[in-house]
């Protein structure tokens, strides 16, 4: 059985047409208009393929290609269709279209697998709405409860629970959909690398062995708001200047004081009242800290909070930290890595074993099942921006490897 490169690229382009952004990049937040249209289009294709489609109360979609032996646990294959703001057209979508292609080719070939194969689309992977990633998969494995969803909110203070209910979903029913160990045989995800390792190593496929963990925190710095002209410099408790010093320390800590693999990013910042002629009263920003080693994440958090205490005393501002989300680094299943290695090596000699610096729903699923991931190269290592690009021949190769891995696990 072989995948169809033309159909794969047409479907990637079709997804790019579902876009809430007219600025060049893709903005497709979960529960938004473009997301709803993309999901409807995807589910229509699933029905044409005679898959059993279910949507759970947080918006994860599962579409089942039934196997011959219903007593066997299914294999899941998929990714996400939501994006960051002004992102690219390949993040998540390559894995979704790859999974659609696997099921399409199986149907075309009247394949009768022993195990069922299910396409899975995770909702809200990027954290674009609520500032914390993987809300769909975290809820699916029981890491987030319906009550936790009440405490996640958008910048304009709409809660996750409210948004789900407005989308016609019933989060109170999530308990009935939560997956436990013993429910799923394995999960596979194809994804773009989002970094530059494959390109530098001149390899076309990556077999992922570990996924970085991450901690996302919100930092609020409170000072004294006052007149920008009438307040002398020595009489200020300016939270913006304090935040600037702390942000510089965060960069220095991640770059020079933990591991070479440690990264920390301040990617979102706001202040109140946000006026040119007013010393702000409050500055809020996020910190995204990641590493393959949990210890390094914890050391980074500890060093940042200790710098914050010092700054708080020196500048007489109050600094509060709130953890918005976290996930631990994970090692992928050696059993599924072996399957993936066999699959990639029968498609190409050009592959390597590697780590993922980006997080993926597969990392959440690893707590309830064996997980495998295949990477394809990102040109120039660019991702989470409109310049994201992967060569169509590499995408098709990744889809073919995914097909071989799925069929080894199911047939
Ligand atoms: C998700 O794509 C992330 O790694 O932030
Ligand atoms: Mn992704
Ligand atoms: Mn992403």
Would you state the CATH architecture of domain 213-327? 2-Layer Sandwich (3.30)
**CA 197 / ligand 1 centre spacing (Å):** 17
Residue 146 banded pLDDT, cuts 50, 70, 90 = confident
Distance, in Å, from the CA atom of 292 to the CA atom of 304, rounded to the nearest integer, reads 19
Residues with Cβ within 8 Å of 18's Cβ and at least 6 positions away in sequence, in order, are 28, 34, 35, 37, 38, 41
Within 10 angstroms of residue 361's Cβ, the number of other Cβ atoms is: 32
**CA 363 / ligand 2 centre spacing (Å):** 12
Distance, in Å, from the CA atom of 88 to the CA atom of 193, rounded to the nearest integer, reads 13
Reported as a single tens digit per residue, the pLDDT across 355-382 is 999 999 999 999 999 999 999 999 999 9
Q: Are strands 117-122 and 75-80 parallel, antiparallel or unpaired?
A: parallel
Q: Is the pLDDT of residue 23 over 90?
A: no
Residues with Cβ within 8 Å of 215's Cβ and at least 6 positions away in sequence, in order, are 288, 289, 297, 301, 323, 325, 326
* Closest to 45 (Cα-Cα) out of 11, 94, 1: 11
Segment 62-91 mean pLDDT: 98
Segment 71-88 mean pLDDT: 98
Distance, in Å, from the CA atom of 137 to the CA atom of 80, rounded to the nearest integer, reads 10
Reported as a single tens digit per residue, the pLDDT across 200-210 is 999 999 999 99
For 73, which DSSP code? P
Reported as a single tens digit per residue, the pLDDT across 323-346 is 999 999 999 999 999 999 999 999
**CA 357 / ligand 1 centre spacing (Å):** 9
Residue 390 banded pLDDT, cuts 50, 70, 90 = very high
Distance, in Å, from the CA atom of 106 to the CA atom of 95, rounded to the nearest integer, reads 16
Distance, in Å, from the CA atom of 197 to the CA atom of 264, rounded to the nearest integer, reads 19
For a mutational test of ligand 1's pocket, the pick from 91, 126, 135, 356, i.e. the residue with the most ligand atoms closer than 8 A to its C-beta, is 126
- CB distance 300 to 281 below 8 Å: no
Residues having CB closer than 6 A to ligand 1 are 126, 133, 358-359
Q: Taking the domains of the chain in order of start, what are their residue ranges? A: 5-212+329-410, 213-327
CA angle 367, 371, 12 (to 5 degrees): 120
Verdict on whether the full-model pTM lies above 0.85: yes
Task: List helix spans (H) across 179-238.
Answer: 197-201
Mean pLDDT across the chain, nearest whole number?
Answer: 97
Task: Classify domain 5-212+329-410 by CATH number.
Answer: 3.40.630.10
- Percent composition of the chain: helix, strand, coil (DSSP 3-state, to 5): 40, 25, 40
Distance, in Å, from the CA atom of 67 to the CA atom of 192, rounded to the nearest integer, reads 29
Residue 26 banded pLDDT, cuts 50, 70, 90 = very high
Percent of residues, the chain, with pLDDT higher than 90: 97
**CA 108 / ligand 2 centre spacing (Å):** 28
Residues with Cβ within 8 Å of 132's Cβ and at least 6 positions away in sequence, in order, are 152, 216, 324, 325
- Lowest mean pLDDT segment, chosen from 20-24, 176-180, 182-186, 286-290: 20-24
Reported as a single tens digit per residue, the pLDDT across 160-194 is 999 999 999 999 899 999 999 999 999 999 999 99
Neighbour-count burial for 77-93, b at 16+ CB within 10 Å, e otherwise: bbbbbbbbeebbbbbbb
* Closest to 121 (Cα-Cα) out of 163, 79, 149: 79
Cis peptide bond prior to 37, omega within 30° of 0: no
CA angle 136, 374, 349 (to 5 degrees): 175
Helix (H, G, I), strand (E, B) or coil at 26: strand
For a mutational test of ligand 1's pocket, the pick from 28, 79, 92, 127, i.e. the residue with the most ligand atoms closer than 8 A to its C-beta, is 127
Looking at the CA of residue 288, tell me the nearest atom of ligand 1.
5
């Amino acid at each position: 059985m072989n995948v169809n490169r033309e159909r794969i690229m047409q479907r990637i382009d079709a997804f790019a047409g579902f876009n809430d952004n007219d600025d060049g990049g893709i903005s497709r937040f979960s529960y938004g208009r473009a997301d709803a249209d993309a999901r409807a289009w995807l589910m229509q294709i699933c029905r044409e393929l005679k898959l059993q489609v279910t949507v759970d109360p947080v918006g994860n979609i599962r579409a089942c290609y039934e196997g011959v032996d219903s007593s066997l646990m299914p294999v899941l294959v998929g990714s996400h269709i939501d994006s960051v703001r002004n992102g690219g057209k390949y993040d998540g979508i390559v894995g979704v279209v790859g999974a659609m292609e696997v099921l399409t080719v199986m149907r075309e070939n009247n394949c009768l697998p022993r195990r069922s194969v299910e396409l899975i689309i995770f909702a809200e992977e990027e954290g674009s709405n609520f500032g914390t990633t993987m809300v769909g998969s975290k809820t699916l494995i029981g890491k987030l409860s319906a009550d936790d969803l009440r405490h996640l909110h958008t910048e304009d203070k709409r809660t996750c629970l409210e948004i789900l209910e407005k989308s016609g979903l019933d989060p109170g029913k999530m308990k009935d959909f939560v997956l436990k160990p013993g429910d799923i045989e394995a999960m596979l995800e194809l994804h773009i690398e989002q970094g530059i390792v494959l390109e530098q190593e001149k390899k076309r496929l990556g077999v992922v062995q570990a996924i970085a963990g991450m901690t996302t925190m919100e930092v609020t710095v409170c000072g004294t708001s006052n007149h920008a002209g009438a307040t002398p410099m020595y009489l200020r408790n300016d939270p913006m200047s304090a935040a600037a010093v702390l942000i510089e320390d965060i960069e220095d800590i991640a770059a020079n004081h933990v591991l070479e693999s440690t990264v920390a990013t301040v990617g979102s910042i706001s202040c109140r009242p946000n006026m040119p002629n007013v010393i702000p009263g409050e500055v809020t920003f996020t910190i995204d800290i990641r590493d393959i080693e949990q210890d390094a994440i914890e050391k980074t958090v500890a060093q940042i909070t200790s710098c914050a205490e010092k700054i708080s005393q020196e500048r007489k501002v109050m600094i509060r930290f709130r953890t918005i989300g976290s996930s631990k680094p994970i090692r992928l299943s050696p059993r599924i890595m072996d399957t993936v290695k066999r699959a990639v090596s029968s498609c190409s000699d050009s592959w390597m074993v590697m780590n993922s610096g980006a997080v993926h729903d597969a990392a959440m699923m690893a707590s309830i099942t064996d997980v495998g991931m295949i990477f394809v190269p990102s040109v120039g290592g660019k991702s989470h921006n409109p310049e994201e690009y992967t060569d169509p021949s590499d995408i098709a190769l990744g889809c073919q490897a995914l097909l071989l891995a799925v069929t080894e696990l199911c047939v």
